[in-house]
Amino acid sequence: MTIYRYLYSLRGAGYRKYLRGSGKKKRATRKSHSRIHNIQGQTRKEACVVTLVDRATRYLIADLLPRCNAESVNRSVPQFADSGLPCKTVTVDNGMEFASHAKLQKKIATPIFFAERRTPWQRGSNENTNGLLRQFFPKKTDFAAHSSAQLRWAVELLNNRPRKCLEYRTPKEMMDSFGFALVS
């Protein structure tokens, strides 16, 4: 830091030309009009999975999206809302797939909250469940090569897996004990 402070002072200005990458302008990776002020993250074009996890029962609902963008999320999530899973709030990360969150909030009539950047513990149940889903689909999995049936099979296994936090009951048993009728 001391060296860089000197180089960027008036006395060290003559030496800046010897810095690696000096004079190169950084190129913007995204057009400024596509960025939303309260959304951060990269835009992905490949297929992905969107998941919703109930905090009380750890019940998982997932859908395979052909593209990981706001339009695909806005088409898929309202189907979750109609599935019978009680939903008081939705907490999402700061990905670009939630760029049109205002439209989504109107469609599902549920408040949407954003977790702060780099704070996965604010969405702990979802992050843990995504980790369990990674047992079936490791990182860098091309979801375009997988079918919705494969995803449903993995979700069914996870919803029928006993969890310590549920006193070794399954998320499906918990949903049944609450008396929710899920439509699939």
pLDDT at 43: 60
Q: Are 143 and 64 in contact (CB under 8 A)?
A: yes
pLDDT at 148: 92
DSSP 8-state secondary structure symbol assigned to residue 66: S
Q: What is the CATH number of the domain that holds 89?
A: 3.30.420.10
Please report whether residue 24 resides in a domain. no
Residues in contact with 79: Cβ distance below 8 Å, sequence separation at least 6, in sequence order: 63
Task: Using the predicted structure, report yes or no on whether residue 183 has a pLDDT greater than 70.
Answer: no
Measured in degrees and rounded to the nearest 5, phi and psi for residue 62 equal -135, 155
pLDDT tens digits for range 12-70: 888 888 776 655 555 555 443 334 445 555 566 688 999 999 888 999 999 999 988 88
Q: Are 153 and 75 in contact (CB under 8 A)?
A: no
Please report whether residue 34 resides in a domain. no
Instruction: Give the total number of structural domains in the chain.
Output: 1
Please report whether residue 183 resides in a domain. no
Please report whether residue 148 resides in a domain. yes
Measuring CA to CA, which residue among 151, 136, 134 is closest to residue 63? 151
Please report whether residue 3 resides in a domain. no
pLDDT at 169: 95
Please report whether residue 150 resides in a domain. yes
Q: Classify the C-alpha dihedral 12-18-24-26 as positive or negative.
A: negative
pLDDT tens digits for range 59-117: 999 999 998 888 989 998 888 777 767 788 888 888 888 888 899 899 888 899 999 88
Distance in angstroms (rounded) separating the CA atoms of residues 45 and 30: 14
Please report whether residue 126 resides in a domain. yes
- Its domain, for residue 150, covers 48-178
pLDDT tens digits for range 113-149: 999 888 888 899 999 999 999 999 998 888 999 999 9
Please report whether residue 11 resides in a domain. no
